[in-house]
């Protein structure tokens, strides 16, 4: 097993819940983790989402993750993350301001 500590922005309760669920799934399905130190073949072609919006979509599309925690918790979590993403998308960044300010008549 390889476990990498997440940064402080991760909810420790949710991260450990999913860690335990993944361990349980691996043991039940007798998944081969591969050789230590070798990149996982299971991750070939996997693209990590580069925005919160993409991460929400990937989370919703993953049946295993959606079923790993109670439905009510999943619903509330997704509601909060969708709201967070909508508020983020509604902000004007400094880059956008610098890039487009000259174009405003």
Tokens of 94: 């400094």
According to the model, what pLDDT value does residue 39 have? Answer: 64
Residue 45: what are its φ and ψ, rounded to 5°? 85, -5
Distance CA 12, CA 47 (A): 24
Quote the pLDDT of residue 11.
83
Per DSSP, 4 falls in state -
pLDDT in tens, 11-34: 888 888 888 888 888 899 888 777
Cβ neighbours of residue 2 under 8 Å, at least 6 residues apart? 33, 36
Which SS3 state, helix, strand or coil, does residue 21 take? helix
**Which pLDDT tens digit goes with each residue over 76-89?**
999 999 999 999 99
Q: Is the pTM of this model over 0.85?
A: no
The 10 Å Cβ neighbour count of residue 72 is 8
Instruction: Give the pLDDT confidence of 37-94 residue by residue, as tens digits.
Output: 666 655 667 778 899 999 999 999 988 888 888 899 999 999 999 999 999 999 988 9
């Amino acid at each position: 097993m390889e476990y990498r500590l997440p940064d402080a922005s991760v909810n420790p309760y949710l991260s450990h819940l999913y860690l335990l669920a993944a361990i349980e799934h691996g043991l039940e399905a007798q998944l081969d983790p591969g050789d230590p130190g070798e990149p996982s073949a299971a991750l070939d072609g996997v693209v990590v989402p580069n925005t919160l919006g993409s991460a929400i979509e990937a989370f919703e599309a993953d049946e295993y993750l959606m079923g790993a925690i109670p439905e009510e918790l999943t619903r509330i979590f997704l509601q909060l993350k969708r709201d967070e993403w909508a508020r983020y998308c509604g902000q004007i960044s400094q880059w956008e301001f610098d890039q487009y300010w000259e174009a405003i008549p």
